[in-house]
A = this chain, B = another copy of it.
Amino acid sequence: MGKMTLERIAELAGVSRSTASRVINDQDGVRPEIRRRVLDVIDVTGYVPHAAARSLAGQRSRILGLAIRATTEQVFSDPYFAGLAQGVSQACNDDDQTLSLFLLQSAAGREQLPARVLRSKLVDGLIVTATLMDDPLLWQLTESGIPLVVVGEVSDPGISSVDADNRGGARLAAEHLLAIGRRRIATVTGPMRSGAAATRRVAFERALAAAGHPLDPQLVVESDFTEEGAYTATQRLLPLEPDAIFAFSDRMAVGVVRALQVAGRSVPGDVAVVGFDDLPPARASTPPLTTIRQEVEQTGAHAVRLLLERIQAPDAPARRIELPTRLVVRASTSVSDLVGTDS
């Protein structure tokens, strides 16, 4: 079986290239009987259109890029990215797109992106995540004119974005900790250059203040979304004797718990701990973590949908989607409830 081309398929099915093309792209205007014939031939030959040819002629590569602005190390150790990648990848498959992953680790890598990837029209659009507030990378990409969707918070409303409802999530955490009677509440945040972290922090403060128990600034320690970072951050917190700690991710919460346990504090007895994300580490932790659940995979899926829309209609106004968060109570805040309130 020599190399298969549209031409060849058409010939085998006894139709023209055009008709074969219509069938393949599932366009209408082909008599059902003929469509069948072509489909049969495709089936038998296992023909798959040549990506490059399609891309060249159709001005569209059907490749979407997922660009993560973090070190390889971070990307491959943070379960958040696993979930996101999973969601994005799934959605791409469902939509017959291929996904290409770009790790924007080094400055060099970041420069390659616009050049090699964008100008060469390799991808039709880009999903970017883990960007900083007012990230210059974002300007660059916007200027380059490529369809873009950010996963996370963005300051520029002209950019489409998807994220969890960070504000609502942080509020849930605050209310829960107050509800179980904690008053010396601390928080281990993500880096303030991260939009999500900034948003959560502000919302957390507001919620506590609104309830009449303003957050003591001393009890706020900025960290970096890693377990190690949270571990040392917590050590700084220990002398201040908080009775609750809200960590901005489950992974950090694990670090928090470890630091507390090493220092002889019991969780949740002495200190209640709340995480964020509800990814695998939350359940695996001892004790299992109370956490703010966000639907990471869905976030990825929505990002793809939004991006596809942008590609189709580049001039439509940008949109932002915020996915709801939910409080999941487990043992790290609730003695009476060791069994957990998992759904």
Contacts and interface: CB of A to CB of B under 8 A. Distances in A.
B48 A115 contact: yes
Secondary structure at chain A's binding surface: helix, strand, loop or mixed? helix
Given A52-B61, A73-B280, A76-B79, 16 more contacts: A46-B119, A47-B119, A48-B115, A48-B120, A50-B56, A51-B55, A51-B122, A72-B89, A75-B76, A76-B76, A76-B77, A89-B109, A98-B116, A99-B100, A100-B100, A101-B101
A108 B93 contact: yes
Contacts of A98: 100, 116-117, 122
A72 B86 contact: yes
A238 to B, nearest CB: 18
A119 B48 contact: yes
21 contacts: A46-B115, A48-B119, A48-B120, A49-B120, A51-B55, A51-B121, A51-B122, A52-B121, A55-B55, A56-B56, A72-B82, A72-B83, A72-B85, A72-B86, A75-B76, A76-B77, A77-B77, A77-B82, A85-B103, A100-B101, A101-B101
Nearest to A112: B93
A53 B105 CA distance: 29
A228 interface: yes
Interface in A83-106: 83, 85-86, 89, 93, 96, 98-101, 103, 105
Interface in A195-226: none
A284 interface: yes
Nearest to A47: B119
Contacts of A49: 120
A93 B122 contact: no
Nearest to A103: B89
B100 A51 contact: no
A119 B122 CA distance: 18
Of A72, A85, A119, chain B has the most CB atoms within 10 Å of the CB of A72
A107 B81 CA distance: 22
Interface of A: 46-53, 55-56, 61, 72-73, 75-79, 81-83, 85-86, 89, 93, 96, 98-101, 103, 105, 108-109, 112, 115-117, 119-122, 228, 280, 284
A109 B56 CA distance: 26
Contacts of A122: 51, 98
Of A51, A61, A73, A77, chain B has the most CB atoms within 10 Å of the CB of A51
Contact of A81 (B50, B52, B76, B78): B76
A54 to B, nearest CB: 8
Contacts of A120: 48-51
Contacts of A61: 51-52
A73 B82 contact: yes
Contacts of A115: 46, 48
A182 to B, nearest CB: 28
A121 B76 contact: no
